[in-house]
Structure 1
């Protein structure tokens, strides 16, 4: 009942507005009580010897309906003024409830023929009027008199109590139908909205492209509910518009509004249909361009697909360039087709369309500076082959594997399993280290440094470091690991172990295993690693070796003093 009450309140408000509109039209549509009669030659004796000239045709109209036209002016009374005066006098006839159609008759004068109603001259017809119509003035006056009688008869019928009563009855019936239509629209839309909400996750599912969720089921259901509400409002507005048009046609004061409201609908429809018919040749041309563009892209895709498969091998063109080159070619083909097609689009020649196009172009240019720089950088990175998908790289301070590269960003998964997106412009301006480029063919050299005291023979140190590298998994035996002595410092010698691997993705684990094997090997040989600095009194102190690696008969040396006289 609440919905019905709300609809009733809404309808009552609309009905009040309608009544006020009709009242205003009736108030302002009525002529003044006393219209000043301008002197006209229809009421005076007209002499054919007076100056008569041909003028523009002006219609005698009543409620937007043309009855006939007046072409001649007589002395100072123009044809336009004659048409206006005749229209006013005819209107007064049907507004007079006591007027009888039998009072309209034709009276023959010496130089003109008058159409008279009671003691009022409606108009005078002269010889020039008849000559313009191809009739005598008597025949033309009789014809005009019949037209006036017919119009007044129709008007009197429209303003009769019986006609107004029927109009009120039809208005009441239309009002009831409108209320029922509003009520049913509300009920149906509410039921549809309930069904949509209940269908989330069942009939309505999330919209996904691969693993990316574009729209969730809740969002889709919400959009559909909003669409149903918009359709409901549009339906109710259309019904009310049709209701107004129908009600206005029931009453003589507002029948002119009916034509206006209908014209509001028909004019755009006619314009759209005319534009569509005029656009048919352009549609054919656009269709030809679309077909040529479609098959050009299809041919381009076929060529680059074969290059990617290795069937076609152009000299100096790598297979991994095939997909990005195809995308660039496709963009250029579509851009060229758009340029050729643009003049044939509807409204392309209008200043508004051109102005909006320029505005959007400037807005895009100003707002996409960084995006364009990233796209250009992405193209450069593609054709310089700085890295491929799966390569272990270092970009700036980020170390990880390349998981995706697009025209805008490069995505790197770090060794901590964190995915980082780096803009291509930043990648191009950074120092890129690729650990995977030559790892499979030549091997990647991993290196680490230790410092050993001068008391340990350097050959023994070399043997221990190479043995530790040999024990580490994923370290290649061919080429063999090697050791470089990088510096002779104050307290120790710096040794650099270099070992080859073909598993750059496992660098962190290999380094960890290598750093475990080096201390084990040195401790097993009883060699102390003096890194970075280690100072001790050798007498009276334990060796810097874990207890597990010391001999069973090992004892702490005593502290000795020696004096000389």
Structure 2
């Protein structure tokens, strides 16, 4: 089984599911709340709700609550007004006033009493008591004494947090050392008879990760508790302390609910993933047999098996993704569609050259242009193919350089493969020399064949041959052609051939006319045999000097 394709499929589906769950609150239509009777608008003091008021005789409840809130806050901040002065007094039908000395707070109407199901005076007395209690608490919370003790308690909590975290770190180090010592001393492992399922090192690593997770969880709880307590010591931050836990719990609850609601679709996705994995398994086994030659098709080469399998794998994964798409959580949401379009545009803009190289790589595979180990020439690069990838070809030159050529460049260039026919028919190497008209052409051809015979690494069958390629103004161009089945030795063979050509022509006194001559020199431009190994050159062993058939005929 190719685990990469299965992993990509599973990861893609999980990633899309997480994206949807993250955006679930933005795209899913919230359920319509049940219509209930509104309790009215709240009268507030700080973060505390004192009571609710309703519309009265064209006096909107919202405006009424705002006015009462402003008055209560003004009285609470004016310490010159005693709390005990706040009481209800009968004004006139149908109104009961609640005031603090000369400062009026609110008026209680018959509508308020009717909504509460009591008399107007009872409602006014209740409102007065709630207002006195709220103002007392407000003055107490915002007093200098309360702020001072809140700061003191905060410092104490921070100190306890530091001590707790330090102790937790010490405890973690002690536990880690004891776990490691226990594993080292007991040589703990999970075995079935003599077969070791889980090694001791893996058990130690697992326990180390577990202790780190526990340490992190405890540290998070300690920090949350500290922040919660510190925020609760001050009236300005007390509302945040009450909502701190909900900021964590509510998203988790929403995600959990969304996951539970998507369980049927997740079951469909799991089934599709399992079927896809086993389909890829079966395909992998089939193409592996094709690659080994156990299964053969006419015109289908074994080296095509793995590239063809990769193509079919992409098609199967794509088909599975299309089938699974309707069951992916949030596939119909606007967020999912937006992310899909964005990723599609990003991929199309950033991968055009990569896709072109991949297609070119498949073209090279099915055209069988070359294989690993071939000596090739691609454009201006000559070297041995050391690796072929879908996107690039790696060449190693005779200078021990590695050249990376994009597949699209190879497809658009002329490729010369020196190794393709070398084993069966031999590769023809050729070199040109120019000799004057005064040298007999039969002798020149014999000397070139002699040089070819002296060169190692050439085939004797087919035999080398000489062509006269042109009759120029001052010389004749001769081309010697030789056969070899070792294209990777081209440079060495050319070097040996050129050396032997020079030796043969110098040995028999035939002058090579390159560069051009406009007149014959007084003496032929040749190197006498006694000067072939002038200092610092060293002569080889006489036993290794091979004589040609033409030697001694001069």
Would you call these one fold, judging by a TM-score over 0.5?
yes
1:366 aligns with 2:349: yes
CA-CA distance at 1:521 after TM superposition: 3.0
Bigger mean CA offset, 109-118 vs 340-349: 109-118
CA-CA distance at 1:86 after TM superposition: 6.2
Are the structure 2 counterparts of residues 470 and 245 from structure 1 closer, same or farther at C-alpha, using a change threshold of 3 Å?
same
1:178 aligns with 2:158: yes
CA-CA distance at 1:477 after TM superposition: 1.2
Secondary structure of residue in 2 paired with 1:387: coil
The 5 Å alignment of 1:284-363 reads 284-341=267-324, 348-363=331-346
CA-CA distance at 1:523 after TM superposition: 3.7
Secondary structure of residue in 2 paired with 1:316: coil
- 1:118-147 Cα offsets, whole Å, 9 max, x none, are 887965463x666656x4x34x86478557
CA-CA distance at 1:398 after TM superposition: 1.2
Secondary structure of residue in 1 paired with 2:419: coil
The 5 Å alignment of 1:74-473 reads 75-80=57-62, 98-100=82-84, 124=108, 126=110, 135=117, 137-138=118-119, 142=122, 145=125, 149=129, 152-153=132-133, 156-157=136-137, 159-160=139-140, 165=145, 168-178=148-158, 181=161, 245-252=228-235, 254-259=237-242, 261=244, 263-341=246-324, 348-473=331-456
In structure 1, stretches of 5+ residues that fail to align are: 1-54, 193-227, 551-565
CA-CA distance at 1:393 after TM superposition: 0.7
CA distance in 2, matches of 1:317, 1:297: 21
Q: Of residues 494, 503, 510 in structure 1, which corresponds to 2:486?
A: 503
- 1:160-181 Cα offsets, whole Å, 9 max, x none, are 4899746643531322432575
Are the structure 2 counterparts of residues 498 and 183 from structure 1 closer, same or farther at C-alpha, using a change threshold of 3 Å?
farther
CA-CA distance at 1:406 after TM superposition: 1.9
CA distance in 1, matches of 2:421, 2:482: 15
State the structure with bigger RCO (CA 8 A, min sep 6), 1 or 2: 2
CA-CA distance at 1:391 after TM superposition: 0.8
In structure 2, stretches of 5+ residues that fail to align are: 1-36, 173-211, 533-554
CA-CA distance at 1:77 after TM superposition: 3.4
Count, aligned residues:
447
Give 2:500's aligned residue: 517
The answer (yes or no) to whether the contact 2:395–2:404 under 8 Å persists in 1 is yes
Are the structure 2 counterparts of residues 163 and 455 from structure 1 closer, same or farther at C-alpha, using a change threshold of 3 Å?
closer
CA-CA distance at 1:328 after TM superposition: 2.7
Give 1:41's aligned residue: none
The answer (yes or no) to whether the contact 2:370–2:417 under 8 Å persists in 1 is yes
TM value normalised by structure 1: 0.64
Give 1:548's aligned residue: 530
TM value normalised by structure 2: 0.66
